[in-house]
């Protein structure tokens, strides 16, 4: 394979769910003669939406890659999901892309997915191209749409094409850079001339040299304009706007031509900086430099093993070599190297900078790890994944499921770093966490279909606590003397409340050997055991000082066990007499929303027993800080998404415990007693 780095183009298709990204990708692959028929996600035969979950749901869930040749250019297309539940896939796809094509549904305008993913691409510093899809939709107001795009993405948005016709009459696009204006009919000609002038002015403004020429009335050649335009697109000063209808393949060829001519190659993509300890190293896209590559996606198959999607940034990756995983400091053997097109793999003898491929049989490598030459260890910046915002508990249906669940969850976490799971020993629940309800629904589905593990889901339990309002005293007595060696342990304790967050304190005030010193630790062990399950609802008891002040023992029958049981009995009785009450965990929630949704969001937080701490502006967004009980935050991400049409985001972290209101506490206590009676 003879290929120059300057001929490589990588682009990611990003945008809101339903904007037609995968349909556009399939149209591109058909135009590139990769497929002999136009496949479609709706028909379930898409090359890129090949996962059984994607076929079943008719939505993109995983990023997918396809390479193709286009007029001498080597192009990698990265298709990404639009649903916010799968935003991690977009983050990974954009980490590997050198260009981003933002797909907009002409009938819906700018939706939240397009906004959010555009911001990730902008932060990465890669060129952004806007492709307005579904131009055959009825009643499209092109001028209003362009204004909305400028309002959202800035005045750098400039049409480079004129749509020919609209609605059902949309039949093609006119190229404002290379097109002949005289070929247009009168209806389109005026618009094309006005837009061509706007494009020319926007381009000239990018160059002092051209601006000077323009002011002095000198002729500016089309080559000069094209060169400055390309520089403006690559720098992000110009965001080109193109039009089309993917399902009818209108504007598709023109889009790929545009990427091939004006898109960034690895040579003019944002510089990659690697770290060797504290030293920063610029990674040069040169096939002769030491190897540096990043694993940006792991695909897990039960019987096949893991497939690692990788992008080479420097050097040449070849089969049969040993490389270093710089994150772990371990070597990995590169066996086969593949080119990837959806689920199809084709062996290749090398990958040069900018190329995307796949590896298999790596021992310890994960998504986000850098593979590099052993002679020059260097770690690339990883992938900034969003953090989980929703959790549910899972319960394996059978013993067999119980045995397999941990491996299945681990494999799914390797595949999707936005998914997390852990077993909570206090609540005795396995919790799975993700970016939304659809995300977790897909995880449960994959567990069943990929790994043969069936689970039920339930609401996560809340780690309530118990504490006391007033001091109390009690005696714990465990005496069994029935002939032979018996049991004998008696202790007297007093308990009193500590300030919130005080935890637990034990004071030994035994004098004169009322309880021999060797049994004191056993009394405390019994007290601690009793504190694990309080008398109110079986929750851990906190913020209590316990004083052991008296007791009795028997020289023959006393034992560690007897005093442990006595300590436990004493604490339970004392807690019951100390006016116990329930505490609940409170989280500090930080919500970012556009101003128009503030009232509704604050109203919803108040209805969740939230206490608003303050508000402040952050760019176009308002940040609301509040303390909200954890019990009220179940499925909050779905509610927030619904209230703000997906534009709101939030983070939450534990803050403190506070008393549960009486009427709510009563319900919790009744439920706990009912569970205990049912033997759960």
Per-domain residue ranges of the chain: 5-262, 272-380, 390-458, 465-578, 583-664
Give the span between the Cα atoms of 597 and 599, in whole angstroms: 6
CATH of 583-664, one of 3.40.50.720, 3.40.190.10, 3.40.50.970, 3.30.70.240: 3.30.70.240
**pTM assigned to the model:** 0.88
Question: What is the DSSP secondary structure assignment for residue 344, as one 8-state letter?
Answer: E
Cα dihedral 637, 640, 645, 648, rounded to 10, equals -90
Helix count (H) and strand count (E) of the chain? 16, 34
Termini Cα distance of the chain: 64
10-residue averages of pLDDT along the chain (680 residues): 86 95 95 90 82 86 95 96 94 97 95 93 97 94 95 95 91 92 85 92 92 87 91 96 96 97 95 93 96 95 83 97 96 95 93 96 95 96 92 92 90 93 91 93 93 92 96 95 82 96 94 92 97 94 97 92 96 97 96 93 96 91 95 92 89 93 94 79
Q: To 5 degrees, how large is the angle CA 363–CA 439–CA 114? A: 105
- Structural tokens at position 180: 């002949």
3-class secondary-structure state, position 214: helix
Q: Does domain 390-458 have CATH number 3.30.70.870?
A: yes
Is 28 within 8 Å of 259 (Cβ atoms)? Answer: no
Give the span between the Cα atoms of 331 and 324, in whole angstroms: 4
Q: Which CATH superfamily does the domain covering 272-380 fall into?
A: Translation factors (2.40.30.10)
Give the span between the Cα atoms of 65 and 54, in whole angstroms: 15
Length of the chain: 680
For domain 5-262, give the CATH number. Answer: 3.40.50.300
Predicted pLDDT at 203: 93
| DSSP H or E stretch at residue 148 | helix 142-153
Predicted pLDDT at 669: 94
Q: Answer yes or no: same fold for 5-262 and 272-380.
A: no
Q: Which of 598, 591, 437, 593 is nearest to 115 (CA)?
A: 593
User: What's the CATH architecture for 465-578?
Assistant: 2-Layer Sandwich (3.30)
Predicted pLDDT at 484: 67
């Amino acid at each position: 394979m003879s290929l120059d780095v300057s001929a490589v183009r990588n682009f990611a298709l990003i945008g809101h769910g339903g904007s037609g990204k995968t349909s556009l990708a399939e149209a591109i692959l058909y135009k590139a003669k990769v497929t002999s028929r136009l496949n479609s996600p709706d028909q379930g035969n898409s090359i890129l939406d090949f996962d059984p979950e994607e076929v079943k749901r008719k939505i993109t869930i995983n990023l997918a890659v396809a390479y193709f040749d286009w007029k001498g250019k080597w192009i990698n297309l990265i298709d990404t999901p639009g649903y916010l539940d799968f935003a991690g896939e977009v983050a990974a796809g954009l980490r590997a892309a050198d260009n981003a094509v933002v797909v907009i549904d002409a009938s819906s305008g700018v939706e939240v997915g397009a906004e959010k993913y555009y911001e990730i691409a902008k932060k990465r510093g890669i060129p952004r191209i806007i492709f307005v899809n579904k131009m055959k939709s009825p009643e499209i107001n092109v001028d209003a749409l362009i204004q909305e795009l400028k309002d959202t993405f800035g005045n750098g948005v400039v049409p480079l094409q004129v749509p020919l016709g609209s609605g059902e009459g949309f039949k093609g696009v006119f190229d404002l850079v290379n097109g002949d204006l005289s070929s247009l009919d009168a209806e389109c000609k005026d618009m094309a001339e006005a837009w061509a002038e706007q494009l020319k002015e926007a381009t000239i403004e990018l160059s002092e040299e051209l601006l000077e020429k323009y002011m002095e009335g000198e002729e500016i050649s089309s080559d000069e304009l094209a060169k400055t335009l390309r520089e403006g697109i690559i720098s992000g000063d110009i965001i080109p706007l193109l039009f089309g209808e993917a399902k009818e393949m209108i504007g598709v060829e023109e889009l790929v031509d545009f990427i091939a001519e004006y898109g960034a190659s690895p040579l003019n993509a944002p510089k990659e900086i690697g770290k060797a300890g504290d030293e920063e190293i610029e990674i040069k896209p040169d096939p002769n430099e030491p190897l540096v590559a990043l694993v940006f996606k792991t695909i897990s198959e039960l019987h096949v093993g893991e497939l690692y999607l990788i992008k080479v940034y420097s050097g040449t990756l070849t089969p049969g070599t040993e490389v270093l995983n710089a994150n772990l400091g371990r070597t990995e053997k590169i066996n086969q190297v593949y080119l990837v097109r959806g689920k199809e793999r084709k062996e290749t003898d090398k990958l040069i900078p900018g190329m995307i491929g796949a590896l298999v049989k790596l021992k310890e490598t994960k998504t986000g790890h850098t593979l590099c030459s052993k002679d020059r260890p260097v770690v690339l910046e990883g992938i900034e994944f969003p953090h989980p915002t929703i959790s549910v508990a899972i319960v394996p249906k059978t013993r067999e499921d119980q045995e397999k669940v941990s491996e299945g969850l681990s494999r799914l976490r390797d595949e999707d770093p936005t998914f997390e799971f852990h077993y909570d020993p206090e609540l005795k629940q396995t919790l799975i966490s993700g970016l939304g309800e659809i995300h977790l629904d897909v995880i449960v589905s994959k567990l069943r279909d990929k790994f043969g593990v069936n689970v039920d889901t339930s609401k996560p339990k809340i780690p309530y606590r118990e504490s006391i309002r007033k001091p109390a005293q009690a005696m714990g007595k465990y005496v069994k003397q029935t002939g032979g060696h018996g049991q004998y342990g008696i202790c007297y304790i007093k308990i009193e409340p500590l300030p919130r967050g005080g935890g637990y304190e034990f004071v030994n005030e035994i004098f004169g050997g009322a309880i021999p010193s060797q049994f004191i630790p056993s009394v405390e062990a019994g007290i601690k055991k009793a504190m694990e399950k309080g008398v109110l609802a079986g929750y851990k008891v906190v913020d209590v000082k316990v004083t052991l002040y008296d007791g009795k023992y028997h020289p023959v029958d006393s034992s560690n066990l007897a005093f442990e049981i006595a300590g436990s009995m004493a604490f339970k009785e004392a807690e019951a007499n100390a006016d116990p009450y329930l505490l609940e965990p409170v989280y500090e929630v930080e919500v970012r929303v556009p101003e128009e949704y503030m009232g509704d969001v604050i109203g919803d937080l108040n209805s969740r027993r939230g206490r608003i701490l303050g508000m402040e502006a952050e760019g176009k967004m308002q940040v609301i800080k509040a303390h909200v009980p954890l019990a009220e935050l179940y499925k909050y991400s779905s509610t927030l998404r619904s209230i703000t049409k997906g534009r709101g985001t939030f983070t939450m972290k534990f803050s403190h415990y506070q008393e549960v209101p009486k009427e709510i506490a009563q319900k919790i206590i009744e439920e706990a007693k009912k569970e205990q009676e049912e033997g759960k």
